[in-house]
Amino acid sequence: METDDKPPARFTTAQSRELGEELRRARKRAGFRGTKFCEELEWSTAKLSKLEKGWRGTSDWEIGTFLGKCGADKATRERVMRLAQEPDVGFFVRRHAGTSSDGLLSLVLHQRAALTITSYDTMVIPGLLQSMGYTRALLEMTRSVPVEDVDEQVRVRMDRQEFLCGGSPPVSTFYIHETALRLRIGGSRVMHDQMMRLAFMCGWTHLRLRVVPFSAQGHPALRYPSTLMTFTRNAKPVAYAESDLTTVFLEEERAIEFHEEKHGVLDALALSADESHEVFTHWANVYDRADDHGQVPWG
């Protein structure tokens, strides 16, 4: 007899987990409890559990039955069926609703499930580390978000950060190029508060913030941002990289090895955690001394 706690025979994938989460949310929106839902479809609870956790092997017909029972609207049906029919080739692309990746289900789902996160950013402070003022200034600068929607977008990003200070946060390392510390976003007061936030976060036991200084040797690994997430033994690592309008997720073995090698280079180039804390404090003081016109005393 099949049970929920029987070890699975194979890995889930990022795509199948995203599909499973879409189905789970559709069931929840419809107000169905798991047991009642299974009774009406004549499914076992194990089958429902595996489907919503992302195990492959479910037919389009069963997914259609699931969505029909939930009374899912047309947009949800079309989105979920696209996911179900998407080929699994080791990578996939998700387009942002605007210019922000904050609302991508696959991104939020996997960040919250990760055991470890290793991330590198070049020009801006990583979204997961941004202060409210910094996020607001970035959104206002892009002008891609209507003024009336800025508050909501700021809230979404702040909500996205909550898993970093939850009960079982992932062990995370963030490599931040010094360019991001010197690129003034939103004025000196915003930058001072952002530097203070980074200095404060250096004290979180599960976080390591590492600055890649201008003095570091040049290397191709510094060109592009990247993030690598690892999970339990039943889920392969997932890497992702963002552009202005899309995020690419990768699971293919060679791609994961590439990102691991890239982060190894960054580890060798970056300052230590203690040295990085000193850099954040230094720049907080620099921005604090900026004059009333926002001019930063570089000298």
3 state SS for 5-49: CCCCCCCECHHHHHHHHHHHHHHHHCCCCHHHHHHHHCCCHHHHH
Burial class (CB in 10 A: 0-12, 13-18, 19+), 258: middle
Q: Tens digits of per-residue pLDDT, 23-64?
A: 999 999 999 998 989 998 899 999 899 889 887 567 888 899
Q: Which helix (H) or strand (E) holds 241?
A: strand 238-242
| Beta-carbon count within 10 A of 84 CB | 19
* Arithmetic mean of pLDDT over the chain: 88
| The predicted structure's pLDDT at residue 147 | 80
**Ranges of each domain in the chain:** 14-85, 91-288
- Report how far apart, in Å, the C-alpha atoms of 243 and of each of 95, 221, 273 are: 10, 17, 28
Q: Tens digits of per-residue pLDDT, 191-227?
A: 999 999 999 999 999 999 999 999 888 888 899 999 9
Closest by CA to 76, choosing from 27, 33, 13, 36, is: 27
Q: Tens digits of per-residue pLDDT, 91-120?
A: 999 998 766 788 899 999 999 999 999 999
Give the pLDDT band (50/70/90) at residue 245: confident
| Beta-carbon count within 10 A of 167 CB | 5
Burial 46-83 (b: 16+ CB within 10 A, else e): ebbbbbbbbbeebeeeebeebbeebebeeebbeebeeb
Residue 174's DSSP bridge partners are 119, 209
Architecture of domain 14-85: Orthogonal Bundle (1.10)
Tokens found for residue 180: 């991001």
Q: Which numeric CATH code is attached to 91-288?
A: 3.30.870
